[in-house]
Amino acid sequence: MTDLKTPLLDRVNLPSDLKGLSDRELRQLADELRAETISAVSVTGGHLGAGLGVVELTVAIHAVFDTPRDKLIWDVGHQCYPHKILTGRRDRIRTLRMEGGLSGFTKRSESPYDPFGAAHSSTSISAALGFAMAAELGGDPGDAIAVIGDGAMSAGMAFEAMNNAGHLGQRLFVILNDNEMSIAPPVGALSAYLSKLYAEAPMQDLKQVAKGFLGLLPPPLQEGAKRAKDMLKGMAVGGTLFESLGFSYLGPIDGHDLDQLLPVLRTVKARADGPMLIHVLTKKGKGYAPAEAARDKGHATAKFDVLTGVQVKAASNAPSYTKVFAQSLVAEAERDEKIVAITAAMPDGTGLNLFQDRFPKRCFDVGIAEQHAVTFSAALAAGGMKPFCALYSTFLQRGYDQVVHDVAIQRLPVRFAIDRAGLVGADGATHAGAFDVAFMANLPGIVVMAAADEAELVHMVATAVAHDAGPIAFRFPRGDGVGVEMPARGVPLEIGKGRVIREGSRVAILSFGTRLAEVLKAAEALEARGGVGHRRRRPLCQTPGPGPDLAAGRRA
Amino acid sequence: MQLAAGHEALITVEEGAVGGFGSHVAQLLADEGVFDRGLKYRSMVLPDIFIDQASPEAMYRVAGMEAAQIEAKVLAVLGVAVVGLRA
Ligand SMILES: Cc1ncc(C[n+]2csc(CCOP(=O)(O)OP(=O)(O)O)c2C)c(N)n1
């Protein structure tokens, strides 16, 4: 958008610049901020829908609270682009997710306005509580505010934090940003509960109530803390779940209406004396029709044309590894009805949407709950099924104890399909699939495989189906395959056996996974130099079974 | 093992941090006494840093795992001069 006019936004470099603006000006600022966010993401690609949903919330929080003294923590951090624009980073916003550019998530090293980095979900309440207690104990002063989505709220960690916060009773703000979306439509009983909350009390108009409270100022210094709390409670309906956890619940309110957000936040800031949950309803992709209309509400997008919303996508002549995995699994599942599939809130990302379409009863989206996904899979295996637990390498980290304690020690044949293995690009270090081989292969009795190309992946799915003696994992990268010929159907590989690809004499290169393509290039270059013989194998890795097994595994 | 026996040097390559495939291979070779007989061994893993966002290709360049860098590793292990190669 070359004709993008943002006169008010142009005057804002830091949140302190919002303090002089009237509520009317803040409304205009929000509109400009939305336009600037759309314009920036059209150039960089990235997470669009979540940011558009919190434009007004971002403005309201920065207008009312005093960041960076107050610690504002965005859960996941994928919705923080408007926040970055308002916190001194507008000049670099068109470098989002690029090499040397701004991170697509919050990042401590990037700005004091990002007091706690994220990218994996559901950490924000724990972090906010930590800041609140640090302030209490004489550390950095300031309020702590967590903004967490309804998807992220479904994870166990969020509840662990609320449980602890309710117990500690420290002043703390949790803003539940409820857009009835995760990446896919959210699943589970919590989601149903939240929907019920606002079905029963549609949207609250808290304008008058909030103003009434403000009219009661100057409180509550002398006033009993209890009284302030009761007043806040009076604004709430329902929310019993949160109340039972020791939070004061307020809402639900319209998260796109600054006339409500501003007075409500001002009131809670003035009055809250314990943990406070503010339930805000928003719309993912708000204010940009192509995002609102998209299946994922513009969760993640490539670069796009602002007028039409059409995304620029590079053509490819090989299928993605994700798709190859999903199609192979569907093919295997046609022949074996014991096969079931588990995803933690990533049906599209893992390709399991294909499986879901074909076998809805055998596919489980458990929500953002990797720990549960792993233990649930373990018991599915113990119960005689063949579970394929499909997780990104980076998110499998969260379920590690479950891998060790529930799967490996019990030698249960859970099949781990580890997507996004290796370096992943624009999502950066937080999403790198760097550690899975190390933390999986050191477990006794597990088989770990890495596909070197998409045809091997087909065979590895078949291998995993056939391997019933214990856990087995196979990893594959993000992106497209190398374009090899595809087998009509997968054939189980012999565990522990490699493949000799070229023969040489002096140097042997053992490649594990998709670096094989680079290794082959290197080999060609070396051959051209002459004089350096080499050969390459792509072995499977059978990790520590009893000693002899291991040796056999390596012998190839 | 055969692979190790038949070659002067062995190099593993993987898209993962230290402690993975290469470490298991090294452990096995050490246990079997292969290094006692003088095998040259190198393991190419992701470096001991968190690599910032870039294209995956650029990130693997930072990690030292592109074809040219693998080539350089081979030459280095054999003690061949690597003049003119990016390491
Ligand atoms: C532990 C973990 N698992 C999975 C993801 C992938 N992920 C990123 S955003 C997202 C959905 C978040 O939904 P919600 O909290 O409702 O936020 P919204 O995008 O709707 O604003 C998921 C599943 C993640 N970031 N972290």
Chain B residues whose beta carbon lies within 8 Å of the beta carbon of residue A439 = 19
**Given a cut of 50, is residue B86 above it in pLDDT?**
no
How close is the Cα of A119 to the center of ligand 1, in Å?
8
Mean pLDDT (chain A, rounded): 89
Same domain, A164 and A59: yes
Looking at the fold, whether A390 and A299 belong to one and the same domain comes out as no
Residue A547 clears pLDDT 80, i.e. is over it: no
Amino acid at residue number A476 = F
The reply to whether A537 falls in a domain is no
The residue ranges of every structural domain in chain B are 2-86
Neighbouring residues of A25: CB distance < 8 A, sequence distance ≥ 6: A8
Q: Is residue A229's pLDDT more than 90?
A: no
DSSP B10-52: EEEEESS-TTSHHHHHHHHHHHTTGGGGT-EEEEE---SSPPP
Residue B71 three-state SS: helix
Interface test with A, best of B25, B71, B78 (most A CBs within 10 A): B71
Cβ atoms of B73 and B86 within 8 Å: the answer is no
Query: What are the residues whose beta carbons fall under 8 Å from the beta carbon of A5, sequence distance 6 or more?
Result: A32
Other beta carbons within 10 angstroms of residue A441's beta carbon come to 22
In the three-class reduction of DSSP (H, G, I as helix; E, B as strand; rest coil), residue A537 is classed as strand
A121 lines ligand 1 (CB under 6 A): yes
Q: Which of B25, B65, B74 to mutate to test the interface with A (most CBs of A within 10 A)?
A: B74
CA distance B77 to B56: 26
Among A495, A521, A540, residue at a domain's last position: A495
Is A386 annotated in the active site?
Answer: no
Domain count along chain A: 2
pLDDT greater than 90 at residue A374: yes
Residue A200 belongs to what H/E stretch? helix A189-200
pLDDT in tens, B12-64: 999 999 999 999 999 999 999 999 999 999 999 999 999 999 999 999 999 99
Say yes or no: A105 and A203 in one domain. yes
Q: Which of A246, A274, A304 is the last residue of a domain?
A: A304
In angstroms, the CA A50 to CA B72 distance is 44
CB hemisphere CA count around A447 (13 angstroms): 28
- Binding site membership of A350 for ligand 1 (Cβ less than 6 Å): no
State both tokens at A304. 């796009």
Catalytic residue of the set A36, A370, A454, A456: A370
Instruction: Answer yes or no: do A98 and A40 share one domain.
Output: yes
Strand A507-512 relative to strand A472-475, pairing = unpaired
Report the residue of chain A nearest B2, measured CA to CA: A555
The tokens of A553 are what?
Answer: 């595994």
A285 Cβ inside 6 Å of ligand 1: no
Please give, rounded to a whole number of angstroms, the shortest distance from the CA of A423 to a CA of chain B.
6
Count the residues in chain A: 556
A141 plus A222 within the same structural domain: yes
The answer on pLDDT for B87 being more than 60 is no
Q: Which helix (H) or strand (E) holds A173?
A: strand A172-178
Backbone angles phi, psi at A285, to 5 degrees: 85, 5
Selected residues 35-54 of chain B with any CB under 8 Å from a CB in chain A: 44, 46, 50-54
What confidence score (pLDDT) does residue A416 get? 98
CATH number belonging to domain B2-86: 3.40.50.920
Domain span at A61: 8-304
Q: Residue A118: CB within 6 Å of ligand 1?
A: no
Q: Domain check: are A46 and A154 in the same one?
A: yes
CB A265 within 8 A of CB A65: yes
Predicted local confidence at residue A529, as pLDDT: 82
Same structural domain, A300 and A338: no
Mutational pocket test of ligand 1: of A76, A147, A297, the residue with most ligand atoms within 8 Å of the beta carbon: A76
Same domain, A232 and A288: yes
Confidence band, pLDDT 50/70/90 cuts, at residue A194: confident
Residue A552: per-residue pLDDT:
26
Within 13 Å, how many C-alpha atoms sit on residue A163's CB side?
6
Ligand 1 binding pocket mutation candidate from A297, A368, A372, A400 (most atoms within 8 A of CB): A368
**A384 and A354, same structural domain?**
yes
- pLDDT, one tens digit per residue, over A10-60 is 999 999 999 999 999 999 999 999 999 999 999 999 999 999 999 999 999
Please indicate whether residue A372, judged by its CB atom, sits closer than 6 Å to ligand 1.
no
Residue A504 lies in a domain: no
Chain-chain contact of A100 with B15 (C-beta, under 8 angstroms): no
User: What percentage of chain A's residues is helix, strand, coil (to nearest 5)?
Assistant: 45, 15, 40
Cα separation, A471 vs A551, whole angstroms: 19
Q: Is residue A446 part of a domain?
A: yes
A317-343: pLDDT as tens digits? 899 999 999 999 999 999 999 999 999
Residue A168's alpha-carbon distances to A76, A128, A163, A241, A275, in angstroms, are 24, 13, 9, 17, 9
Q: What is the pLDDT of residues A249-271, one digit of tens each?
A: 998 899 999 999 999 999 999 99
- The answer to whether residue A525 is domain-embedded is no
3-state DSSP call for residue A246? coil
Residues A341 and A247 in one domain: no
Mean pLDDT of A376-394: 98
**Percent of chain A having pLDDT more than 70?**
87
Measured CA to CA, the distance from residue B87 to residue B68 in angstroms comes to: 8
Amino acid at A404: V
State whether A425 and B13 contact (CB < 8 Å): no
The partner residues of A174 in beta bridges, in order of sequence, read A146, A277
Q: How many CB atoms lie within 10 A of CB A555?
A: 14
Comparison of pLDDT for A124 and A500, the residue scoring more: A124
Tokens of A444: 């006794």
DSSP state of A154: G
- Ligand 1, atom 12: closest residue by C-alpha: A182
- Choose one of A273, A304, A335: the last residue of a domain: A304
Average pLDDT of the segment spanning A138-144: 97
**How far is it, in rounded angstroms, from Cα A90 to Cα A551?**
57
Contact A29, A266 (CB under 8 A): no
- The kind and range of the H/E element at A63 are helix A55-64
Residue A1: per-residue pLDDT:
47
CATH number of the domain encompassing residue A371: 3.40.50.970
Q: At what angle do helices A258-271 and A207-215 cross, to 10 degrees?
A: 40
Tell me the C-alpha distance between A452 and A224, whole Å: 67
Whether the link from the prior residue into A219 is cis, omega within 30° of 0, is no
- C-beta A144 within 6 A of ligand 1: no
- Residue A149 CA to ligand 1 centre (angstroms): 8
Q: How far apart are CA A512 and CA B12, in angstroms?
A: 8
Structure confidence at residue A19 (pLDDT): 95
Spell out the alpha helix ranges (H) of A202-359: 207-215, 225-234, 240-244, 258-271, 289-293, 321-335, 352-358
Confidence category of residue A555, pLDDT binned at 50, 70, 90 = very low
Instruction: Say if residues A540 and A449 touch (Cβ distance below 8 Å).
Output: yes
The per-residue pLDDT for range A146-188, each reduced to its tens digit, is 999 999 999 999 999 999 999 999 999 999 999 988 888 877 7
Asked if residue A207 has pLDDT above 60, the reply is no
CA B7 to each of CA A123, A504, A505, B1, B80: distance values in angstroms, whole numbers, following the listed order: 50, 9, 6, 10, 16
Same domain? A289 vs A352? no
Q: How confident is the model at residue A238 (pLDDT cuts 50, 70, 90)?
A: low
For A505-524, letters b (16+ CB in 10 Å) and e give ebbbbbbbbbbbebbbebbe
Instruction: Report the alpha-carbon distance of residue A213 to residue A197 in Å, rounded.
Output: 23
Contact B80 A532 (CB under 8 A): yes
Question: Which amino acid makes up residue B29?
Answer: L
Give the per-residue pLDDT at A187. 75
Which residues are CB-neighbours of A120 under 8 A, at least 6 positions away? A76, A394, A395, A398, A430
Question: Residue with structure tokens 């809805």?
Answer: A360
Indicate the pairing of strand A447-450 with strand A472-475.
parallel
**In this model, does residue A544 exceed pLDDT 50?**
no
Q: pLDDT tier at B3 (50, 70, 90 boundaries)?
A: confident
- Compute CA distances A463 → A341, A466, A499, A512, whole Å: 16, 5, 15, 17
- The mean pLDDT value for A468-495 works out to 96
Considering the domain architecture, whether residues A268 and A334 belong to the same structural domain is answered as no
Q: For this structure, is A107 an active site residue?
A: no
Neighbours of B58 (CB within 10 A): 17
